[in-house]
Amino acid sequence: MSVFTVERIRAEVADLLGEDPEEIPVDENLVDWGLDSIRLMTLAERWRAEGAEVAFVQLAERPAVEAWAELLGAS
């Protein structure tokens, strides 16, 4: 079972952006919400440290919570 959930991904993105997790949409481009490459690298490194096999470029290609949940095998 994956340690990643849609709720967790939203919460981590919200924390980096200074937003409420409920405000972060699951199907929108997070770059439009202010997610820049530095923050994206932070997430990729954090998740790789927890064993996720995900690269910065994979996250950057599809910057949406639902796409990342699929990549991370979120439950």
Residue 75's pLDDT is: 77
The rounded mean pLDDT for the chain is 95
- Could you tell me the CA-to-CA distances from 18 to 27, 61, 68 in Å, in that order? 19, 23, 19
Summarised one tens digit per residue, pLDDT across range 11-43 is: 999 999 999 999 999 999 999 999 999 999 999
pLDDT number for residue 72: 95
Residue 1 pLDDT greater than 80, yes or no: no
- In this predicted model, what pLDDT tens digit does every residue of 48-69 receive, in sequence order? 999 999 999 999 999 999 999 9
Distance from C-alpha of 73 to C-alpha of 6, rounded to nearest angstrom: 10
